[in-house]
Amino acid sequence: MRGHLLDSAAEMNVTAETEPSAHARFNPLIRPYLVLYIGSILVVTVVLIPLALIWFCGVGQWWARHYFDKLECELGPTALRFRKGIIFQIEKTIPLENIQDVTFIEGPVLRQFHLSILKFETAGQSQGQAHDMRLIGIIDAHAFRTRILQGREAVRRSLSGARAIAASAPATGDEQIELLRAIRARLDEIATMLRQRAGQ
């Protein structure tokens, strides 16, 4: 009963306080940036220079185009969902209350392409997950970051309000039965004491 009240109150408050789902839009300049970035890594390794030539001759452009087409990010009332990747697709749904911070990253190369990275830090996140929790190229990333943080605060407020409602809610059926049994036992004790006094 209390759990149901908690869920219902949280749902009502979250729906009332947050905006409807928002889909992030991605900058098409991600494509040339990814081709250049991955190609540069291949060239720096020296051993993979032949692979870098194949990458720059068309494979990289094909890969970047398909990667861009698969990018998806949706901010809902209670969770952030994103998907990326081609062969190995990563799809994550992060409850907003679990988001600790959203870091905005923008370096000199990213600025040349008018791009930035949003990095999501969550409770209990392991070191290996950090790379998977990044999204590059969201248009108007500052505003999107602000919406995520506002949504997180709205969810946290509604959850704390729901907990307060659940704490003050009447006892469940089992708790009421136990309470009635305790009252009955106490009344029996009082009746016994009254009988003893009347018998004296």
* Spans of all domains in the chain: 2-26+71-168
Q: Which residue has the tokens 């149901």?
A: 4
Is the pLDDT at 9 greater than 60? The verdict is: no
Q: Class of the 2-26+71-168 domain?
A: mainly beta
**Mean pLDDT of the 69-82 span:** 93
Q: What pLDDT sits at residue 196?
A: 72
According to the model, what pLDDT value does residue 200 have? 59
How confident is the model at residue 130, as a pLDDT?
A: 57
- Residue 47: the pLDDT is 79
CA distance 150 to 60: 37
Q: What is the sign of the dihedral through the CA atoms of 107, 112, 118 and 119? A: negative
Predicted confidence at residue 31, as pLDDT, reads 94
Question: β-strands 22-23, 134-136: how paired?
Answer: unpaired
pLDDT higher than 80, residue 124? no
Residue 170 pLDDT: 60
Rounded mean pLDDT of 32-50? Answer: 89
pLDDT band of 115, cuts 50, 70, 90: very high
